Amino acid sequence: MSMGLPQTIDRVTPEEYLRREIDAVDKHEYYRGEVFAMSGGTPTHSLINANTIGALVRALQGGRCRIYDSNLRIGIPRTTLFTYPDASIICGELQYDPRDKSRQTVLNPVVIVEVLSPSTEAYDRGAKFASYMQIESLKEYVLFSQDAPRIETFLRQPEGAWRYLPAAGLETIARIESIEVQLALADVYEGVTFPEPSPPPEATAQP
């Protein structure tokens, strides 16, 4: 999730949510009648996301797939979720949500990227991922850590299961299988300063 723990503000229909969102200053998620205000992310979150988008723009250049930033809204009719992933990759023509007359919501991402935050990691891995699984076009879900150079991908298999493919370390090259792209973790985490690891607890002297 791109922005921090959402806070619910009211209960409305999808059509009313979409109408309000056109003129909203801040972005909001929608789920089962509830609208959630989204808070801003950290500088580290922003840098990782910008680096990732830049690297993927270069990797996808000349092909049929395009990467979009967190301003693109994704709709999931099966679960009623409207959300703004940190990044989405769409191959071919955009499929617009017919509920959104402003044509600002799309339905067919192939890859979704989220930069994990401490306050939303459980949501991104749990309920939100469960909702993303309902997108028929989605082939891969990619999670980026903020506290270490680590990428986790979940690749949909032909039978419907999701294969877990982690990659860690600045020297590592991750692969987004569904779009046949290699992604150097050194590029994703360029300029990022990681927190110092906590020292081990001191041993207690035995009598």
DSSP string, 84-150: --SEEEEESS--B-TT-TTS-EE---SEEEEE--TTTHHHHHTHHHHHHTT-TT--EEEEE-SSSSE
pLDDT tens digit sequence for 130-144: 999 999 999 999 999
Sequence-distant (6+) residues with CB within 8 A of 129 are 141, 154
Which one has a higher pLDDT value, 85 or 207?
A: 85
pLDDT of residue 143: 98
Q: Is the per-residue pLDDT at 9 higher than 80?
A: no
pLDDT of residue 198: 66
Of the candidates 103, 96, 110, the one whose C-alpha atom is nearest the C-alpha of residue 67 is 110
Cα distances (Å, whole numbers) of residue 93 to 53, 139, 164: 19, 16, 28
pLDDT tens digit sequence for 142-190: 999 999 999 999 999 999 999 999 999 999 999 999 999 999 999 999 9
Separation between Cα atoms, residue 139 and residue 179, nearest integer Å:
9
CATH topology of domain 42-188: tt1808, chain A (3.90.1570)
pLDDT of residue 147: 93
Is beta strand 73-76 parallel, antiparallel or unpaired with respect to 87-91? unpaired
DSSP 8-class letter at 179: G
Task: Give the three-state DSSP class for 7.
Answer: strand
Separation between Cα atoms, residue 134 and residue 77, nearest integer Å:
9
pLDDT of residue 134: 97
pLDDT tens digit sequence for 57-105: 999 999 999 999 999 999 999 999 999 999 999 999 999 999 999 999 9
- Annotated domain spans of the chain: 42-188
Q: Strands of 7-11's sheet, edge to edge?
A: 7-11, 34-37, 28-31, 81-83, 73-76, 105-106
pLDDT of residue 46: 95
Give me the long-range contacts of 94-99 (CB less than 8 A, separation at least 24).
95/137, 99/14, 99/15, 99/18, 99/75
pLDDT of residue 195: 80
Residue pair 195/147 in contact by the 8 Å Cβ criterion? yes
